[in-house]
Chain A
């Protein structure tokens, strides 16, 4: 006999990401999936952001790297709970890795959880991990052609942080072009110009973040 069904088939990753989403929601923690190329400044941004907000909200971090614990050690110095994931070759974090890592964190005590993805401008954009928002960094030294070359990450992100803004006079790179192309790909994207070195723009970004999570 025939049975009529209308069942959505989710990719297994999407299904686990939805379970993560529910778990984070029940624990009352706001989750930020932070993505960029290698060296754009994800860990530096976390250091600056955590210093700026840790007296106001309780922060936790999941660090994703192919190998090593360097980033987690940097975050650990700031006195916030941190878990290191080593993907052992995988070029992105997936929902299952986050489900496992989250068990190591006191989720109920946290207000905000940062997930630092593996440095890569392509694959992390394709895998939901159960986040509330995706935030990406593009550093000026990467060049102003990146939005149109890697459209998915710009389309998936709610926030674009343009980092290393202190170098703008030394580089032949157009901040206006980066902004114009990013907004062309994603008219709703929120853009901040920042420098993790000088601290420029960090307060605007953390104010926006704190308003968003409350």
Chain B
């Protein structure tokens, strides 16, 4: 996937959010990443730590919560859950590709710690 461009976008959004709230430093950013997004969290973390330098987030910790994949097969009706990365959208029971994902596509900022430092 495209971790560097996602890290850039995440940083831009977080800095904007921080300024809008009247603060000038970001201490930490919590994000959720679904396991069906195809995002490699190690690569995302690496890109974040490179890109944050020289920004109001240059000491910020990125906390990544991975969300498992949950889905329902439209053919066999079975529910499934997986904590593995999930890229081929296939029912683990019957092999059908006609599935509905309930979770796993998340890519959100959920919480930030901010402060003022002169």
Interface residues of A (CB under 8 A from B): 1-13, 15, 151, 155, 184-187
Contact = CB atoms under 8 A, between A and B. Distances in A.
Given A155-B89, A184-B97, A6 B110 contact: yes
28 contacts: A1-B113, A1-B115, A2-B114, A3-B21, A3-B111, A3-B112, A4-B110, A5-B110, A5-B111, A6-B108, A8-B107, A8-B108, A9-B13, A9-B108, A10-B107, A11-B5, A12-B2, A12-B5, A12-B6, A13-B2, A13-B5, A15-B9, A151-B88, A151-B89, A151-B97, A155-B89, A184-B96, A184-B98
B17 interface: yes
Given A4-B111, A151-B88, A9 B97 contact: no
What secondary structure prevails in chain B residues at the interface with A?
mixed
A18 to B, nearest CB: 12
Given A3-B21, A185-B97, A11 B109 contact: no
Contacts of A1: 23, 113-115
Interface of B: 1-2, 5-6, 8-10, 13, 17, 21, 23, 31, 88-89, 96-98, 107-115
Residue among B9, B23, B110, B111 with the most chain A CB within 10 A?
B9
A155 B97 contact: yes
A4 B112 CA distance: 7
A8 B6 CA distance: 11
- Contact residues of A: prevailing secondary structure: mixed
A134 B110 CA distance: 32
Contacts of B108: 6-9
